[in-house]
Amino acid sequence: MQDSEIQKELTEKEEQSAVAKVFNYRLVKEKTAGGLMYILTIASLVLVVVMGIGLYLKSAPIFEEHSLGELIFSSNWRPLKGQFGFMPFIAGTVWVTVVAVLWVLPISLLTAIFLTEYAKSYVKKYVFPALDILAGLPSVIYGVWGTLLIIPWISNKFAPHFVDFSTGYTVLAGGIVLGVMILPLLVSLFIEIFSSLPTELRDASTSLGATKWQTSKKVVLKKSFPGIMASVVLAISRAMGETIAILMVCGNLPEVPRSILDACYPIPALIANNYGEMLSLPQYEAALMFAALILFVVVLVFNVISRVILYRVEKSYA
């Protein structure tokens, strides 16, 4: 009798400890997983900082012989003579980006308004995947498309109205190609912003007798203004970093462009074209690293600005 009771007690204890073991194992797994993911998240953040520091250290040699102001504002780009003026590249980047945003902003706003305010759901069903495909195309395809279609068009049809001769490899070509690339990004950002507005807001306007267009213009656009700004900033920062497609259509001439029919040389194209070639000149390498640093800082700042605005917008809607 006693023996069997003891036996029973023992088996119960064994079972309990087995359960405890499994339980502990689960806990260990849980903690490891949590910790690991935490470390990985931190690592990716640290990576950004490390990249920034790395770029700065690598570009440091150039500051020994040139001041920051000289580097940024000088237009003399003669690497072999030790002259590194980044103005042509900064100007090129700004020109191309501005041209792209200028023509794409109205189009993407109207597209997004159409899709959120006017379109029936079956239209959305086909347009949304198409936008995703556009956004996902490798940029080299845009570059090829620009070279095959846009360049000849500018050279033969558009430019002759304004100048005697143009190769077609111009700021305009870069702006058009870049615009097409950021179009899907802007449209999908705008759609997200517009659809986050409460329906009651539209109903309030509609029930006063406003047309859809009046409602879109005076209520939807107005209410979304901060969000629109943030999206544009985000799109700009994306556009400034775009490399391959731009490199293929801009002409890559290190001069400050004076019109949209001049060739230009945006910063990413400069880096992609030259890095790895003339590294025998330490100053040249440092100069290219400095170009990368400029891009890095500008894109980082723009991203942060747009995130901050978007965050505030989301909070104010909630």
The reply to whether 147 sits near another protein by the rule CB under 8 A is: no
CA distances to 261, 283, 287, 303 from 82, rounded to whole Å, are 29, 7, 10, 33
CB 176 within 8 A of CB 119: no
Could you give the string, one character per residue 115-134, with x where binding to another protein holds by CB under 8 A and - elsewhere? Answer: -----xx-------------
Q: Is 257 exposed, middle or buried (0-12, 13-18, 19+ CB in 10 A)?
A: buried
Least distance from another protein to the Cβ atom of residue 124, Å: 11
Work out which of 53, 123, 204, 304 binds another protein, going by CB under 8 A.
204
Least distance from another protein to the Cβ atom of residue 126, Å: 15
Minimum CB distance to another protein smaller for 64 or for 200: 200
The reply to whether 209 sits near another protein by the rule CB under 8 A is: yes
The residue among 278, 309, 295, 234 whose CA lies nearest residue 79 is: 278
Minimum CB distance to another protein smaller for 122 or for 165: 122
Exposure string (b/e) for 37-60, b if CB count within 10 Å is 16 or more? eeeeeeeeeeeeeeeeeebeebbe
Could you give the string, one character per residue 62-101, with x where binding to another protein holds by CB under 8 A and - elsewhere? Answer: ----------------------------------------
The reply to whether 206 sits near another protein by the rule CB under 8 A is: yes
Least distance from another protein to the Cβ atom of residue 192, Å: 18
Residues that bind another protein in the complex, under the rule CB under 8 A: 120-121, 198, 200-201, 203-211, 214, 218-219, 222-223
